[in-house]
């Protein structure tokens, strides 16, 4: 009976001794801590790199856009037909990755108060009949009355660039943003130099009828 009690006591003591030794054992602690911290640390590093590259691309887009807008206002023949050489420069400067896409849109206006401002309409309805001030002479109401191209002397050029490139860390960034691409946009409006020739488009008062075919009639203001 006494021997059995001693064995029982020893059997209960063994796990307790083992756990005490395990708590005091510091071997492998650094590896365990690293395993716990490595994933969030790497995620933080990748997020920092992704954000930093995006800010770099945004700064480069802003600088290139300003340079392109200044070149577009000179009317210099060296810029190529409709500013083709400027577009080429922009695409070259903004090739931040081999898969980057650069889209360029150029439009011009007669004055700054027309830039990206809808044409004045006598009603908020989109259904005929209604009348509006047609500032670009295309005989339709426009949310943005800009005309494609670089315009003439003293016109206002609006240069718009969209930069799209795949994210550096797709798994992380797509999980956080829901997109596998970064899209950056910028635009700048500047007035052309008075390099001679050209004249402003005279606004007209246009009306669209509710009759069959919705005919449009315009008259000078």
Q: How far apart are CA 203 and CA 63, in angstroms?
A: 35
Higher pLDDT, 170 or 75: 170
Instruction: Please check whether residue 146 is in contact with residue 196, taking contact to mean a CB–CB distance below 8 angstroms.
Output: no
E strand or H helix at 86? helix 84-93
Q: How far apart are CA 100 and CA 162, in angstroms?
A: 10
Instruction: Please check whether residue 96 is in contact with residue 165, taking contact to mean a CB–CB distance below 8 angstroms.
Output: yes
pLDDT-derived band at 15, boundaries 50, 70, 90: low
The model's pTM is 0.74
Virtual torsion, Cα 174, 179, 180, 184, nearest 10 deg: -130
């Amino acid at each position: 009976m006494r021997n059995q009690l001693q064995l029982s006591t020893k059997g209960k003591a063994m796990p307790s001794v083992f756990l005490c030794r395990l708590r005091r054992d510091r071997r492998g602690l650094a590896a365990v801590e690293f395993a716990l911290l490595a994933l969030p640390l790497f995620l933080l590093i990748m997020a920092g790199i992704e954000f930093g590259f995006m800010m770099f691309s945004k700064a480069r887009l802003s600088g290139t856009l300003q340079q392109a807008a200044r070149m577009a206002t000179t009317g210099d023949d060296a810029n190529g037909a409709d500013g083709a050489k400027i577009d080429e420069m922009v695409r070259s400067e903004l090739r931040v990755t081999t898969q980057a896409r650069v889209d360029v849109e150029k439009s011009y206006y007669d004055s700054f108060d027309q830039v990206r401002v809808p044409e004045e309409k006598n009603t908020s309805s989109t259904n005929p009949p209604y009348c509006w001030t047609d500032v670009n002479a295309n005989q339709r109401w426009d949310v943005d009355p800009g005309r494609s191209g670089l315009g003439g002397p003293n016109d206002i050029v609006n240069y718009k660039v969209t930069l799209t490139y795949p994210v550096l860390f797709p798994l992380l960034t797509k999980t956080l943003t829901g997109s596998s691409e970064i899209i950056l946009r910028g635009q700048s409006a500047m007035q052309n130099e008075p390099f001679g020739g050209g004249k402003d488009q005279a606004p007209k008062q246009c009306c669209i009828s509710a009759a069959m075919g919705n005919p449009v009639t315009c008259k000078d203001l």
